[in-house]
Amino acid sequence: MYRTIPLALMLSIAAPAIASADVISDRQDRQAERIEHGRNTGSITWTEGIKLRAEQNRIARTKAAMESKGYLTRSDRAKLAEMQNQASKNIRAESRDGWHRLWGLPRVGK
């Protein structure tokens, strides 16, 4: 019985850290989907898509560097959230800026 209490305590402490990493990854996936949706509909041009994907790659590299120590601190999560907030604003701005792929032309690039 005494062995289950420390194990349960360790799991309850580790669960929020694991959950926060999943939230960050899920949000990153949703933002990538938004970029691809914009590229498919033509509301995000090829060059805008390149810039937005580069921003997503910077966030992913920053997250990997922060996770290299095995966990994310509260300040790490806050910095990643701020980076993702800015990326979300950029995706929204680029999809609504009036630059569109002409409907008759096929999608070019990734």
Residue 12 lies in a domain: no
pTM of this structure: 0.73
Q: Has residue 3 been placed in a domain?
A: no
Number of domains the chain contains: 1
The answer to whether 84 touches 75, Cβ cutoff 8 Å, is: no
Name the token pair of 67.
Answer: 């996770």
Is the CB of residue 49 less than 8 Å from the CB of residue 109?
yes
Q: Can you tell me the distance from the alpha carbon of 96 to that of 2, in angstroms, rounded to the nearest whole number?
A: 59
Is 80 inside any structural domain? yes
Q: Which residue has the tokens 């360790």?
A: 10
Domain for residue 7, yes or no? no
Give the CA angle between residues 48, 53, 56 to the nearest 5°.
130
For the segment 1-40, what is each residue's pLDDT rounded down to a tens digit?
A: 555 555 555 555 555 555 566 888 899 999 999 999 998 8
Is position 101 within any domain? Answer: no
Contact predicate 99/45, CB 8 Å: yes
pLDDT surpasses 70 at 109:
no
Question: Is it the case that residue 53 has pLDDT exceeding 80?
Answer: yes
90 CB-side CA count, 13 A: 18
**Residue 85 structural domain:** 19-95
Is 107 within the bounds of a domain? no
Determine the residue type at 50. I
6 vs 86, which has greater pLDDT?
Answer: 86
Burial class (CB in 10 A: 0-12, 13-18, 19+), 106: exposed
